[in-house]
Amino acid sequence: MIILGVDPGLTRCGVGVVEAGASRRLSFIHVDVIRTSPDTSQDLRLLSIYNGLVDKIERFVPDTVSIERVFAQANRNTVLGTAQAAGMAMLAAAQRGIPVALHTPTEVKLAITGNGKADKLQVERMVMRILNLSEMPTPPDAADALAQAMCHALRPAGALQGGEREQHLTAAQRQWAVAAQRAKRRRGVDRGM
């Protein structure tokens, strides 16, 4: 399975491509950053990001596009630009009938390091180690995009459905599955279910 990961951003949009083979063995395929200038109007910046993403999707023909789920930050303009860039990735994938997955930064950290509170350096080092890279992808948006793709490949297939499936998960995948189940239960409680 080929997974294209996107770390959305208006100035730098990271794109990482990995292949998930048998036993969830991951192989590095490609990493890049689509850049736009703050001096360009926002509509043209989004068009540039869209065109860059279309180019990557058509070049690597992924089975899934995994995008960082946008979360609220203190800087509203950053959140808006990030959300718009994520929308361009969703649009490019949807137009080609490619499924889209959204993963939060915490989910990515948990899948890659086994710790949902890991710092960026820990994630980057694990990306290098898992993909057997000789150097860290730069800028950080590139490593984040690879981590996003890797998260999708490493996530539990059925989130703890049966003991047999649980036995085939790594420690990090089991933690991720437990966290996903807890979040699901919390959402049910919040809705009064």
pLDDT digits (tens, 9 = 90+) for 103-137: 999 999 999 998 889 999 999 999 999 999 999 98
Interacting residues of 33 by C-beta distance below 8 A, sequence separation 6+: 12, 13, 14, 15, 139, 141, 142, 145
- pLDDT single digits (tens) 36-94: 999 999 999 999 999 999 999 999 999 999 999 987 666 666 788 899 999 999 999 99
Interacting residues of 37 by C-beta distance below 8 A, sequence separation 6+: 11, 45
Q: What pLDDT was estimated at residue 79?
A: 83
Q: Is 68 annotated as a binding residue?
A: yes
Q: Given strand 12-20, what is the order of strands in its sheet?
A: 26-35, 12-20, 2-7, 64-68, 100-103
pLDDT (average), residues 23-32: 92
Of the ranges 4-13, 25-34, 62-71, 151-160, which one carries the lowest mean pLDDT score?
151-160
Domain coordinates in residue numbering, the chain: 2-155, 158-193
> For the chain, where are the alpha helices, taking DSSP H only?
42-60, 76-95, 105-113, 120-131, 140-154, 163-167, 171-190
Q: What pLDDT was estimated at residue 162?
A: 35
Distance of alpha carbon 100 from alpha carbon 12, whole angstroms: 20
Q: What pLDDT was estimated at residue 188?
A: 62
- Amino acid in position 96: R
Most confident of 87-96, 133-142, 152-161, 179-188: 87-96
For the chain, the distance separating the N- and C-terminal CA atoms, rounded to the nearest angstrom, is 36
Is the predicted pLDDT of residue 17 greater than 70, yes or no?
A: yes
Q: Is 7 annotated as a binding residue?
A: yes
CATH class of the domain comprising 2-155: alpha beta
Q: What pLDDT was estimated at residue 23?
A: 79
The answer to whether 45 touches 36, Cβ cutoff 8 Å, is: yes
The answer to whether 2 touches 61, Cβ cutoff 8 Å, is: yes
Which residue in the block uniquely carries the two structure tokens 């990493």?
31
Q: What pLDDT was estimated at residue 24?
A: 78
For the annotated catalytic residues, the residue numbers are 7, 68, 141
Q: How confident is the model at residue 165 (pLDDT cuts 50, 70, 90)?
A: very low
pLDDT (average), residues 164-172: 48
The answer to whether 64 touches 28, Cβ cutoff 8 Å, is: no
